[in-house]
Chains A and B, each alone.
Chain A
Amino acid sequence: MNLQIFVNALVNAALIAPPAMAFSLLFGVLKFPNFAIGGYITLGAFAAYTFNVPLGLPLPLATLGAMLFTGFVVWLAHVWVFKPMQDQSAVTLLVVSIALTLILESVVRLFFSADVRGFDIPLERPWKFWGARITREQVEIIACAVVLATGLHVLLRHTRIGRAMRAVADNPMLAAIRGVDAAKITALTTVLCGAIFGLTGVFAGLDLVIEPLVGWNLTIPIFAAAILGGIGSPYGAILGALLLGLAEELTILVLPSTYKIAVGFVIIAIFLLLRPQGLFGTAEIKK
């Protein structure tokens, strides 16, 4: 077996796992698949680019700025768009979230042309070991993903806010009765997820390229990872991301790489049909 396939799959998984966890969290509180994440990721990538290249900030600072900026925009979207519409059906909200992605993408296109861009970082030779290659940025992405996943775990399991987040996702009414400010927790979750999407935008810019469609192209893999791991289960999302990364890399061996995006869809379809609760989710009781 070729080691490179596993390295690529691991990098892919590190890229997809954090937003898949965030998507899972967001689905827990908002109860609809939010396609706006594509727009948020694109926004994060371009915000970091603006801080990094035209303004000349070092990349870690630019990343922080991008996370804050994306978190703020996601909060605005929550207050102006999704909160007032919370009584609409899940499908209507889904259409609205796609519209939001199109809007954000077009705004980015207005300010930056559709040209492909990159961050201002020195080019380095990739490291080689046992015949596989990995770049410094890819190692950093993996390290950040591990830190982020651990951080989310600690937040959700061992803090008051995390417990409140899980309570609101589980049963908002009951949480409210027990004295949790559900609206505030929902807004907080939204902003936290927004910051993670902003960070994903930066990662995508490092590993892939910075272009307006970068977020849309990641949306389906993120959904696939979240559904594979069991929607609403942030830990399952990590395993989902690993399996998806591997499946995508293995497909390239037998099919033209342009079919890569179809892999995500096929996995989603198979899992939703055969095991809708995903690998780690609990079965939902249908009326």
Chain B
Amino acid sequence: MSAYLVSMATYAGFFIILALALNLQWGLTGMVNFGIAGFYALGAYTSGLLSAKAGWPLGMSIPMAIAAGFAAGGLVALLSMRLREDFLAIVTLGVGEVIRLVVLNEDQITEGPRGLRIEAQPFQSLIAPENYPVFYLGFVAFFVAITYWICERIRKAPMGRTLRAIREDDVVAGVLGKNVFRHRIQIFAIGGGFMGLAGALYAHYSQNISPEVFMPTVAMFIWMSVIVGGAGNNRGLLIGAGTVIMFLEGTRFFGDVLPWLDAETMSSVRIITIGLLLIVTLRLRPRGLLPEPKFTYTKDKIAG
């Protein structure tokens, strides 16, 4: 049971990093990204392949995963220049699916549906195996904290105000002399980097990655976390991600209480519950559980 809780908390960590990255891209800057699963896969496979096939140390393969996500994010951001946000949604979803299809089909490199086995884990030799899950939870929590800190810094900095201005009206922000183009590319790249990091952390945790983990439903759960929590608010997002993970993973306990439900039924019930959670939340609280605070001109609370 406690081992199960540790594993659930670790997964929540990957989830929160992805959600923070999306909140940076969409909640703060207004750029749509439905290719989250693709960036997650990119990070996981970059670090996984470099360490399992090329024998790189993790100290280099994990930063490479971040770099890959960063570069991909910068490239995809170029699309946002020309596309309306709902169309950008379809195109980014396509980017994610294409990444998954490449991983699935180029199996002489990625091992495709058989799954890529990764032996290397960070600080493997220093920690006793029985303590390792708890250590890894701490390791992930450390990166969640760093991600949260960076996102909050960006939000509160003058740059955060510029980003909100771009989100509300990019033409006005441009007229005021802000470089909309550069800001958008920067933020999308940073978000992509975080998603790559989450992927790498996942890869070395599960030690076996295969394309079916990176289905578009992952993107959906992250989007639901951000919308349920309240877009633009990092603290609300922790609540949103926590709620979605609780529904997603917590409903597994029903299996112990109601033994006549088989795994197939359970997974259906789980998805129905999460979908209804989103719809009910939006009906009752259209701006999410903890909405972004309105901008106010008080001296000591400029960040508003």
Chain A residues within CB distance 8 Å of chain B:
32-33, 81, 84-85, 87-92, 94-96, 98-100, 102-103, 105-107, 109-110, 113-114, 220, 223, 227, 256, 258-259, 261-262, 264-266, 268-269, 272-273, 276, 287
Contact = CB atoms under 8 A, between A and B. Distances in A.
Interface stretch (B94-102, B133-141, B292-300): B94-102
Interface in B79-96: 79, 82-87, 89-91, 93-95
A102 B275 contact: yes
Given A90-B85, A100-B275, A265-B94, A106 B268 contact: yes
Given A88-B286, A98-B220, A256-B105, A269 B94 contact: yes
Interface in B212-259: 217, 220, 223-224, 227
8 closest A-B pairs by beta carbon, nearest first, are: A265-B94, A103-B275, A106-B268, A99-B275, A90-B86, A106-B271, A109-B268, A110-B268
A92 B228 CA distance: 10
Given A96-B279, A114-B264, 13 more contacts: A32-B86, A91-B86, A95-B227, A99-B220, A99-B279, A110-B265, A110-B272, A220-B94, A227-B90, A265-B97, A268-B87, A273-B83, A276-B87
Contacts of A273: 79, 82-83
Contacts of B217: 102
Given A114-B264, A266-B94, A92 B86 contact: no
B89 A107 contact: no
Contacts of B274: 99, 102
18 contacts: A33-B86, A33-B90, A90-B86, A94-B86, A95-B227, A99-B274, A99-B275, A99-B279, A102-B272, A102-B275, A103-B275, A106-B275, A107-B268, A258-B104, A265-B95, A265-B97, A268-B90, A272-B83
A109 B89 contact: no
Interface string B276-291: 1011001100100000
Contacts of B282: 85, 88, 92, 96
A268 B286 CA distance: 31
Interface of B: 26, 32, 79, 82-87, 89-91, 93-95, 97-98, 101, 104-105, 171, 217, 220, 223-224, 227, 264-265, 267-269, 271-272, 274-276, 278-279, 282-283, 286
Given A87-B286, A91-B89, A113-B264, A102 B220 contact: yes
B142 to A, nearest CB: 30
B61 to A, nearest CB: 27
A85 B283 contact: yes
Most buried by A among B171, B265, B269, B271: B271
B248 to A, nearest CB: 12
Main secondary structure of the interface of A (DSSP, over half): helix
A259 B217 CA distance: 19
Contact of A95 (B79, B97, B223): B223
A39 B78 CA distance: 32
A88 B85 CA distance: 14
Contacts of A265: 90-91, 93-95, 97-98
A185 B86 CA distance: 24
Nearest to A271: B87
A89 B89 CA distance: 13
A95 B26 contact: no
Contact of A109 (B93, B224, B264): B264
Contacts of A258: 101, 104-105
Contacts of A99: 220, 224, 274-275, 278-279
Contacts of B95: 265
B278 A96 contact: yes
Given A109-B264, A272-B83, A91 B32 contact: yes
A92 B278 CA distance: 10
Contacts of A262: 94, 97-98, 101
Nearest to B83: A272
Contacts of A264: 94
Nearest to A111: B268
Contact of A269 (B91, B223, B264, B269): B91
Contacts of B85: 89-91
Contact of B91 (A98, A107, A110, A268): A268
B22 to A, nearest CB: 11
Contacts of A266: 94, 98
Contacts of B94: 220, 262, 264-266, 268-269
Contacts of A256: 105
Most buried by B among A32, A90, A98, A109: A98
A114 B227 CA distance: 30
B82 A95 contact: no
A45 B93 CA distance: 25
